[in-house]
Amino acid sequence: MKSFKDKVAAITGAASGMGRTLAVELARRGCHLALSDVNETELVRTAELASAHGVRVTLRRLDVANRADVFAWADEVVRDHGRVNLVFNNAGVALTVPVEHARIDDFEWIMGINFWGVVHGTQAFLPHLKASGDGHVVNTSSLFGLMAIPTQGTYNATKFAVRGFTEALRMELEMEGACVSATCVHPGGIATNIAMAGKVDPAMERLTGATIEQHKRRANKMISTTTAESAALQILAGVERNARRVLVGPDARFLDKLVRLLGARYQALVIRQMRKLNRRKAS
């Protein structure tokens, strides 16, 4: 995809964060939009911001974990816009809990949105992207899809899964000579509401002595490396140059290199940093 002008893009999780900034930036470049999210109130706000640029915007309240709903939405998008060129499987949530204490319903909740949401979005839209003659699948993994972090085991599992799924898809499309491509996005810390809106398991309170609220605030402080606006620009630049992997933010670019340099030994470094951080908080 060289230009987004007069294309049609579907974005999940468009009510906030990178979903919203992607929507606004695409609208600014003349791309028509089909937006979805579970939060309808904020979704309407995104639509207002985007339609100020004079593009056609359609909305749908959607839980990406619901396969039938995602397929129905894909058909609806093609009905409303005539075609669809891009799908941004962007919706994602956070869960902080050690693996030992992870409750299965929480695990299924985050898997449903972060992983199955991406799978459903990809499979529902792929035939339509092929029919458009010029299509692109953009799946959001994470820096934590490249490296693991203690207490993020469930989140890591969803994001590593998205990466494997998307990289395989990309190769399949290339081997097939399809007019559709795929890009896997790995954002580092982006200033969005993912930490505040995410879940922290009560087990964390017992283990660290800090309240859930404190955990969320700490995480929120740590992810403010890159603005969501800048993230959208970096993602769209990656789609334009048909990148296989887009690393968003200096932290993602640095840690990706570090992990590749150290191999599995990066874990020792993470442990040392976590201990240092915990000591600082305790004192």
Which residues of this chain interact with another protein, rule CB under 8 A?
A: 1-3, 5-7, 83, 127, 131-134, 177, 179, 241-242
Distance CA 252, CA 207 (A): 28
Catalytic residue among 73, 125, 155, 165: 155
In the complex with another protein, which residue's Cβ is closer, 3 or 211?
A: 3
In the complex with another protein, which residue's Cβ is closer, 169 or 195?
A: 169
Phi and psi at 56, nearest 5°, equal: -80, 125
Distance CA 260, CA 243 (A): 18
In the complex with another protein, which residue's Cβ is closer, 242 or 278?
A: 242
Active site residue 155: yes
Phi and psi at 147, nearest 5°, equal: -140, 150
Q: Which amino acid is at 136?
A: H
**In the chain, how many H helices and how many E strands?**
12, 11
Query: 48-62: string of b/e by CB count within 10 Å (b at 16+)?
Result: eebeebebebbbbeb
Q: Please, what is the minimum distance in Å from the beta carbon of residue 281 to another protein?
A: 46
In the complex with another protein, which residue's Cβ is closer, 59 or 178?
A: 178
Q: Which amino acid is at 76?
A: E
Q: Which residues are catalytic?
A: 155
